[in-house]
Structure 1
Amino acid sequence: MDWRRSPLFVFFLLGAAPVMLVPCIAAYMDGDHDTARPFFYGTILTVFFALSLGLALMNRTPRSTARSHLLALMGTYILLPIWLAVPLAILVPTLTPVVAYFEMVSALTTTGATVFDRPGRLPDAVHIYRGLVGWAGGFLILVAAVGIMAPLNIGGFEIRSVVLGARPGDGRIRVGSAEATDRILRAVGVVAPIYGGLTALLGALLLVAGEAPLDAFMGAMAVIATSGITATGAATGAGSIPAEMAMALFLLIAATALIYDPYRRREFGIWRSDPELRVLVALVIGLPTILFLRHWVGALELDQTVGGFYIAMAALWGAIFTTISFVTTFGQQSVAWDTAQAWSGLPTPGLLLMGLAMLGGGVATTAGGVKLLRVYALYKHGTRELRRLTLPHSIGGQGQAARRIRTEGAYIAWLFLMLFFVALAALLLLLTLTGLAFDQALPLATAALSNTGPGYELFAAQPRRYLDLGPAVHLILSFAMILGRLETLAFVALLNPEFWRR
């Protein structure tokens, strides 16, 4: 028997066992046996069902490895939260099954939207569980990006393949050309040490910055997975600017795939020309400057410039961290953001932050959104078209890769952007049919589709608690979070008849 022939879903289900075991140990060490018991039983049952399912389906050979892997990934995001929600529903009896499912979908997709708006009422083990599910969800999407999405040419890799010289419909790797499970395991071997090492390093830095152990542990997992899931509901436990500086640095690392790519790690010169990093740096420099000037003008109008140097610097940092947080779909605001608002007397620019969240991070990262590489392709195409308006007979230079990204790359990016907005419009229609007003539905749909759950409180002028939303809204938002995590191209691929005939 070859255990590598087991379905991919079996490995994902087996990965839920250590996620349940860690909070079990934490609760046991605290002497809270009532909290540890559901996690302990969940760990045993998870291993039992995973092994049983693997043995039952070990000799099954799928007709199409590509279709099998994509369906397994989609099934993981749809079905695994049902299993993960069981310990949560047992420990928090006031949760309905739909609400518990919503909470786990939010964590697994690294969205971070939560119904626990008063975290202090829950045991620490429950918060650890939520954070671990979000952290594991970030690891899952990184492995899936390398082992599943890259061969299928989706998830932003369709743009990269154009830059590398392939045709738009061709992937760099044919699914089935190598043993599928071996490819996934190789991806785990590459990603796991870096992913775990970054988490441990950030956790240590947060401890040095004065964070409590639980806050540092959960903050590190939330940043590396860009889930925004914390025990206190804030970006940092103690609300310190040094801790936010460490988090901002690691958010920038998490929003690009440079550190996970062995070739680009070795070639430092590539970092300077990486289009995603260049767009990210431009956003981090440009938008905080605009936000700071906005607060500065507001402060001048209110004549609050006396002793304002410290407040001005705090406002600048608040703008920088909040920009980084939302463009990486982390979704938490800076501790200095309220100070900046009090200084200027201006409300939160919700539409600007929604736009940042829609942009998202890099390809093959835990960040959601449209992806920076697609934004770069559309930007290059736009600048070239503007140049041709003034110089119609000009010839675009900058090499063959730049010409490809301005043509085929921009075309594919535009198609995805239209699919993204069609999905957003469909979600708005469904949410308004449940009775929500448009100004309530838009922030909810944007937060779910861009996987920026905590940002909903800043998107909306008068945000509602996730717990107060009805079951229909919770299910619609759960579907939106899965759609945003897998991207619309994956669903379109499943609807393509050619995909099923392979």
Structure 2
Amino acid sequence: MQLHVKETSRFAVSLLRLPLFLLLVGVFSAAMLVPAVYGGVARDLEAARAFLYTAILGLTAFAMIGLAHAGRDPRHGSLGPLMSLLCAFVFLPVLLAIPFYEGLGTTTFLNAYVEMVSAITTTGATIFDDPERLNGTLHLWRALVAWMGGLLMWIAASAILAPLNLGGFEVTARAEPGRTQPRDTSMAAPEVRVRISKVSAVLIPIYVGLTLLLWILLAVGGDRGLVPLCHAMSIMATSGISPVGGLTGTGSGIAGEAVMLLFMLFALSRLTFSTDTVTSDTGGISKDPEFRIGIALVIIVPTVLFVRHFLGAVDASAEDDLVGAGRALWGSAFTVLSFLTTTGFTSANWGDAQAWSGLTTPGLLLMGLAVIGGGVATTAGGVKLLRVFALYLNGLREMERLVHPSSVSGGNPMGRRLQKGGAFIAWIFFMLFALSLAFLTIALTATGVPFETSLVIVVAGLSTTGPLLEVASGTPIALAELGGTAKGIFVAAMVLGRLEMLAIIALLTPDLWRG
């Protein structure tokens, strides 16, 4: 027994010494067995064979490269895992697209690649507007890839981005973005793998447990087949992927949406499920600025929309329709939280808010919520609530100085940090985000796409909120109609939005490679 334990321990240590990207290839290749089994049970044998053969191919390549790499020391210091993340979003979808392409058989490989990049970055945009064009096996694969991509960001936030002061942690850190704290050796090559394994051991059971719980609750609520499973994975990963094209085709109704709303709160703050990051010093979830700002937006924005709709209903002589008013308020609240967390599900009652008042709600509001995004170190994208809070504090402080130029800032050390250096680096990130938005929009417009359409596509990519393509403009945007260059620009926007510009800049810093 002891010999068996020792052998298992040695095998685990050997796996940890492999490059992170190679480990991800092995994990995602093994995950292909899930849709392969499902396709076999559902008698979708062609798709099942595609996933089974690709899984065997991927696992074989993983084993052979792993054996060739055995005994080698990891290189590139702290940048190795960060580079592996970039490769996971750019090159890993090539492998993930193979069974999707072979299983569907009626699309190009480029479309399959874009679909997999959209899934692993938790964007959730789809080339296929009609959900019935994909069978259950392919829908399961899309949701599973997005779910695993969300889990990857959960783990990477604590194990990779936090020590390097990236991904939003630079706002509260004293070191420069892309650099570890002084006298901090936690990102040395051997130790970072130990850190990844420890963080994974803590977060994976939480992530899996929450997904299973939500799946059961949705199934009990009335959803059937793959719908509750795919929606549960999409809520946890904030991908917005649905096998039925949204919540209007579900059977759980408002009860199911209420359960989803509770689980979307996990994307507002890391403190809702973990205290492993620097944001845990704020004093608990009740005092966490990200969670409080998120809840405030969920209350204020639907209230403003409700008042606006109510005034429209008065003109339309519908003010006595209390049921319609309640549905309108609920639809607004759910949709606001969904797009704030970059999930992108629209409530089945979202249309009732417009029908009740006779007014249309502008998609620009949903785009603004998606740009703000959710919490730091969560699966949500966007600018992040902590950066918005830092800019808010700095704005208040500047107004105080206009009235009292000699005043001294109060508050705790973290508050003073957010008002000064934190706000400065948050503003830099916001400017980089705006420049990326402008550059990619111009590039997409240069390919012949209309400006308004280009703006929506780029915002959807940078904020990782793919469902914006369906609701932000007057008519849904069809990605299938874009050219190859335009699709490439959209892929770049999704990768940039998921990994963030500061991380890309850190990878281009020469002195970090010397470490």
Instruction: Indicate the TM-score class for this superposition, using the shorter chain for normalisation.
Output: over 0.9
Give 1:219 deviation, angstroms. 0.6
Where structure 2 has 5 or more consecutive residues not aligned to the other structure, the ranges are 1-9
Give 1:178 deviation, angstroms. 5.3
Query: 269-278 vs 137-146, which deviates more?
Result: 269-278
Select the residue among 128, 140, 156 that pairs with 1:116. Answer: 128
Which residue of 1 is the match for residue 407 of structure 2? 394
Within 5 Å, give how 1:470-489 maps onto structure 2: 470-489=483-502
Q: Which amino acid aligns with 1:61?
A: D
Per-residue Cα deviation, 1:355-391 (whole angstroms, up to 9, x for no partner): 1000111111100000111011000101111122222
Per-residue Cα deviation, 1:295-336 (whole angstroms, up to 9, x for no partner): 111212222224x10100100001100110000000121111
- For the pair 1:346 / 2:346, whether they are aligned, the reply is no
Query: CA 1:269 to 1:381, structure 2 compared with 1: closer, same or farther past 3 Å?
Result: closer
Per-residue Cα deviation, 1:45-103 (whole angstroms, up to 9, x for no partner): 11111111222233443443212111111111111100000011111222111111000
- For the pair 1:15 / 2:27, whether they are aligned, the reply is yes
Which residue of 1 is the match for residue 312 of structure 2? 298
Q: Which amino acid aligns with 1:293?
A: V
Conserved 8 A contact 1:168-1:408? no
Conserved 8 A contact 2:147-2:237? yes
Q: RMSD of the TM alignment (CA)? A: 2.0
Query: CA 1:208 to 1:171, structure 2 compared with 1: closer, same or farther past 3 Å?
Result: same
Which residue of 2 is the match for residue 75 of structure 1? 87
Select the residue among 425, 444, 465 that pairs with 1:431. Answer: 444
Where structure 1 has 5 or more consecutive residues not aligned to the other structure, the ranges are none
Partners in 2 of 1:398 and 1:364 — Cα distance? 25
Select the residue among 177, 181, 187 that pairs with 2:199. Answer: 187
Select the residue among 121, 142, 150 that pairs with 2:154. Answer: 142
Query: 410-419 vs 181-190, which deviates more?
Result: 181-190
Conserved 8 A contact 1:35-1:125? yes
Which residue of 2 is the match for residue 321 of structure 1? 334
Partners in 2 of 1:135 and 1:240 — Cα distance? 23
Give 1:167 deviation, angstroms. 6.6
Give 1:339 deviation, angstroms. 0.8
Give the 3-state SS of the residue equivalent to 1:195 in structure 2.
Answer: helix
Query: CA 1:239 to 1:458, structure 2 compared with 1: closer, same or farther past 3 Å?
Result: farther
Which residue of 2 is the match for residue 42 of structure 1? 54
| TM-score, L = length of structure 1 | 0.95
Query: CA 1:107 to 1:177, structure 2 compared with 1: closer, same or farther past 3 Å?
Result: closer
Q: Which amino acid aligns with 1:336?
A: N
Query: CA 1:122 to 1:284, structure 2 compared with 1: closer, same or farther past 3 Å?
Result: same
| TM-score, L = length of structure 2 | 0.93
Give 1:159 deviation, angstroms. 1.5
Conserved 8 A contact 1:81-1:108? yes
Select the residue among 486, 490, 503 that pairs with 1:490. Answer: 503
Within 5 Å, give how 1:39-438 maps onto structure 2: 39-162=51-174, 171-172=180-181, 173-174=184-185, 175-176=187-188, 179-235=191-247, 237-238=250-251, 240-262=253-275, 270-306=284-320, 308-438=321-451
Conserved 8 A contact 1:295-1:343? yes
Give the 3-state SS of the residue equivalent to 1:179 in structure 2.
Answer: helix
Partners in 2 of 1:213 and 1:373 — Cα distance? 38
Q: Which amino acid aligns with 2:410?
A: G
Q: Which amino acid aligns with 1:122?
A: L
Partners in 1 of 2:387 and 2:134 — Cα distance? 41
Conserved 8 A contact 1:161-1:171? no
Partners in 2 of 1:28 and 1:171 — Cα distance? 48
Conserved 8 A contact 1:6-1:55? no
Conserved 8 A contact 1:6-1:59? no
Give 1:243 deviation, angstroms. 0.5
Q: Which amino acid aligns with 2:288?
A: D
Matched positions, count = 498
Give the 3-state SS of the residue equivalent to 2:172 in structure 1.
Answer: helix
Conserved 8 A contact 2:282-2:288? no
Conserved 8 A contact 1:447-1:453? yes
Give the 3-state SS of the residue equivalent to 1:152 in structure 2.
Answer: coil
Per-residue Cα deviation, 1:101-151 (whole angstroms, up to 9, x for no partner): 000000000000001211123221110011000101001111111111112
Select the residue among 11, 18, 28 that pairs with 2:40. Answer: 28
Conserved 8 A contact 1:255-1:366? no
